[in-house]
A = this chain, B = another copy of it.
Amino acid sequence: MDRREDDENLGGGGGDIEHDGGGGGVGGYLYERRDSNASSFWDREGGAVREPLLNLRSRVNTTSQIAIVGAKVYPIESLDYEIFENELIKQDWRTRKRIEIFQYVFLKWTLALLIGLFTGVVGFFNNLAVENIAGVKLLITSNLMLKEKYYQAFAAFAGINMILAVSAAALCAFIAPAAAGSGIPEVKAYLNGVDAHSILAPSTLFVKIFGSIFGVAAGLVVGKEGPMVHTGACIANLLGQGGSRKYRLTWKWLRFFKNDRDRRDLITCGAAAGVAAAFRAPVGGVLFALEEAASWWRSALLWRTFFTTAVVAVVLRSFISFCRNGNCGLFGQGGLIMFDVNSEIPAYNTPDLLAVILIGVLGGLLGSLYNYLVDKVLRTYSFINERGPAFKILLVIAISLLTSCCAYGLPWIAQCTPCPTDSDKECPTIGRSGNYKNFQCQPGHYNDLASLFLNTNDDAIRNLFSSGNKNEFHITTLFIFFTGIYFLGIITYGIAVPSGLFIPVILAGASYGRLVGRLMGSFSSLDVGLFALLGAASFLGGTMRMTVSLCVILLELTNDLLMLPLVMLVLLISKTVADCFNKGVYDQIVKLKGLPYLEAHGEPYMRHLSAGDVCSGPLIVFSSVEKVGNIMHALTMTRHNGFPVVDEPPFVEAPELSGLVLRSHLLVLLQRKKFTKNRVLSGSELLTVFHAFDFAKPGSGKGLKVEDLDLSEEEMEMYVDLHPVTNTSPYMVADTMSLAKAAVLFRELGLRHLCVVPKTPGRPPIVGILTRHDFMPEHVLGLYPQIAHQK
Task: Give A residues with C-beta under 8 Å from B.
Answer: 83, 85, 90, 93-94, 282-283, 286-287, 290-291, 297-300, 302-303, 306-307, 310, 313-314, 317, 321, 338, 347, 547-548, 551-552, 555-556, 559, 561-562, 564-565, 568-569, 572, 575, 600, 604, 607-608, 652-657, 728-729, 731-734, 736-738, 740-741, 744-745, 748-749, 759-762, 765
Contacts and interface: CB of A to CB of B under 8 A. Distances in A.
B307 A321 contact: no
20 contacts: A282-B565, A286-B548, A287-B287, A290-B302, A299-B600, A302-B547, A306-B547, A310-B569, A313-B568, A321-B347, A552-B552, A555-B561, A655-B761, A656-B761, A728-B736, A728-B738, A729-B737, A731-B741, A745-B745, A761-B765
Given A94-B608, A607-B90, A745-B749, A310 B738 contact: no
Contacts of A94: 608
A283 B729 contact: no
A307 B748 contact: no
Q: How many copies does the complex hold?
A: 2
A83 B302 contact: no
Contacts of A565: 282, 310, 313-314, 317
B555 A306 contact: no
Contact of A547 (B303, B568, B762): B303
B302 A93 contact: no
Contact of A572 (B302, B306, B551): B306
B310 A572 contact: yes
Q: Is the interface of A mostly helix, strand, loop or mixed?
A: helix
Given A83-B741, A561-B555, A761-B765, A568 B736 contact: no
A607 B93 contact: yes
Nearest to A608: B94
Contacts of A283: 548, 551-552, 555, 564
Contacts of A303: 547-548, 575
Contact of A759 (B347, B555, B657): B657
A302 B291 contact: yes
Q: Nearest 6 A-B pairs (CB), nearest first?
A: A310-B568, A729-B738, A729-B737, A748-B748, A559-B561, A654-B761
A561 B561 contact: yes
Contact of A745 (B297, B551, B731, B737): B731
A750 to B, nearest CB: 9
Given A313-B565, A654-B761, A307 B83 contact: no
A658 to B, nearest CB: 9
A14 to B, nearest CB: 18
Give the most central of A555, A657, A745, A748: most B CB within 10 Å.
A748
Nearest to A286: B548
A287 B287 CA distance: 9
Given A94-B608, A286-B548, A555-B561, 5 more contacts: A83-B740, A290-B302, A302-B547, A306-B568, A656-B760
A652 B317 contact: no
Contacts of A653: 760, 762
Given A282-B564, A310-B569, A561-B559, A734 B736 contact: no
Contacts of A555: 283, 561
Nearest to A571: B306
A607 to B, nearest CB: 6
Contacts of A655: 761
